[in-house]
Amino acid sequence: MDHESMSWLLLLLELLLMLGMLEAKVPAVIVFGDSSVDSGNNNYIPTIARSNFQPYGRDFEGGKPTGRFCNGRIATDFVSEAFGIKPTVPAYLDPTYSIKDFATGVCFASAGTGFDNATSDVLSVIPLWKEVEYFKEYQRRLRGYLGNYRAKQIVNEALYMEIYRLGARKISIGGLPPMGCLPAERASNIKDGCACREDYNLVSRQFNSKLVALINKLNSQLKGIGLVLSDIYYTMLEAIEKPHLYGFETVEVGCCGTGIFEMGILCTKSNPLTCTDASKYIFWDAIHGTEKICSILADHLMRTSLAGFL
C-alpha cells in the first residue's frame, strides 16, 4: 500500500471523544488523528505537510485556507455542529484561540501522523503520543479555567487505554473507508481501467471487522466506557458507486488539478485544471474528501453510531 493511503489508514485514529454528563449532552468534542481531521495544527510546526494555502479552504467561510485538507469544513466540524456545540473545532496550536474556545472542543490532530513515531518523523509532524500529551496539558489548562469540578465534567477523568486512564468514557473510533477507491489508488490500477482496487477495499473491510472485535473486548473490560465504531465504509462506497443519489458527478478523480496525484503542496491555486464546483466531486484532492462528502458522512454517523451519545 503506497504512502498516500496512510492518511486514510489512520482514520482509526480519529478518536472523537464525546465527553458529556449532567445538563450538557455533549459539552465538548475532542479530536485526535491525522490529515483527515487536522484543523490546522500543522500550520504551527516546521513541516511540509500543510494545506494552509489556496485552493484549500476556498469554500470555507471567507474563503480562508485554515490548514484543513479540504475545500471547506471537515467531518468533525459537522459532527460538532450536529451536537449543537459549534460549527468548527479549533486547532490546539492555533494561537488565535484560548482555553475559553477550547473548553467546548479542540483538535489535536496532525496531518501525516501515525501510531509509530517513525511515521511522524518522515514529515516532522506531531506523533500520536504527543497528541495525547497535549490532551494532558489541555486538561490542566481546563481545570485552571473552569475549576476542577466543571473540568471533570468536560474531561470525565497502547492509545485507547491511555485516553481511558485520562478520563475519556465516550469514544468513537473511525473505521476505514474503501481505500481502494481513493483517486491516488485508482490511478495505479491501470490494468483494470483505473477502477477501485478491490484488494485494498478488502483490507479496509477486514480491518473494520477487527476493530469491531477490539471495541467489543474493550467495552467488556473497561468499566463505564462507551466505545463505538464510526463506520463510513458502505456509505462512502454507495456514494462512489451511485453518485447520483447524493448529487455527485465525478468520483474517479479529485477536484484539485488532475485529481489523481495532487495533495498538499502539489495542490496549488495556479493549477488551471482544478474544478470550479467541488460539490460535484467526492474527493477534493487525490486522498481527501470534499466538504460535501464530509457533511454526508457526518450526517450518517449522527444517525447511527453517534446517536447514542445524544
Q: Name the residue with cell 467561510.
A: 61
Residue 309, pLDDT > 70, answer: yes
Residue 229, pLDDT > 60, answer: yes
Residue 12, pLDDT > 80, answer: no
How far is 3 from 9, CA to CA, in rounded Å? 10
Of 5, 285, 295, 305, which is the active-site residue?
A: 285
Residue 3, pLDDT > 50, answer: no
Percentages of the chain per state (helix, strand, coil), in multiples of 5: 45, 10, 45
Contacts of 113 (CB under 8 A, 6+ apart): 10, 13, 33, 34, 119, 120, 125, 126, 127, 128, 131
- The verdict on whether 110 is a catalytic residue reads no
Residue 171, pLDDT > 80, answer: yes
CA 226 to chain centre: 20
Of 35, 36, 110, 305, which is the active-site residue?
A: 35
pLDDT band at 16 (very low <50, low <70, confident <90, very high): low
Mean pLDDT score of the chain: 88
pLDDT computed for residue 4 by the predictor: 38
Q: Name the residue with cell 500543522.
A: 42
User: How does pLDDT run across 71-100, given as a tens digit for each residue?
Assistant: 999 999 999 999 899 999 999 999 999 999
DSSP string of 41-52?
A: GGGGSS-S----
Report which secondary-structure segment, H or E, holds 229: strand 226-230
User: How does pLDDT run across 231-268, given as a tens digit for each residue?
Assistant: 999 999 999 999 999 999 999 999 999 999 999 999 99
- H-type helices in the chain, by residue range? 6-9, 75-82, 99-102, 117-123, 128-146, 148-154, 159-165, 183-186, 198-221, 233-241, 291-303
How far is 309 from 193, CA to CA, in rounded Å? 43
pLDDT band at 18 (very low <50, low <70, confident <90, very high): low
- The verdict on whether 51 is a catalytic residue reads no
How far is 226 from 218, CA to CA, in rounded Å? 9
pLDDT band at 17 (very low <50, low <70, confident <90, very high): low
- The verdict on whether 120 is a catalytic residue reads no
How much of the chain exceeds pLDDT 70, in percent? 88
Mean local confidence (pLDDT), 39-58: 97
User: How does pLDDT run across 93-144, given as a tens digit for each residue?
Assistant: 999 999 999 999 999 999 998 766 777 887 889 998 899 899 999 999 999 9
Mean local confidence (pLDDT), 149-177: 75
Q: Are 36 and 283 in contact (CB under 8 A)?
A: no
Of 120, 231, 288, 305, which is the active-site residue?
A: 288
Sketch the domain layout of the chain as residue ranges. Answer: 3-177+198-232+295-309
Nearest CA to 39 out of 63, 57, 17 is that of 57
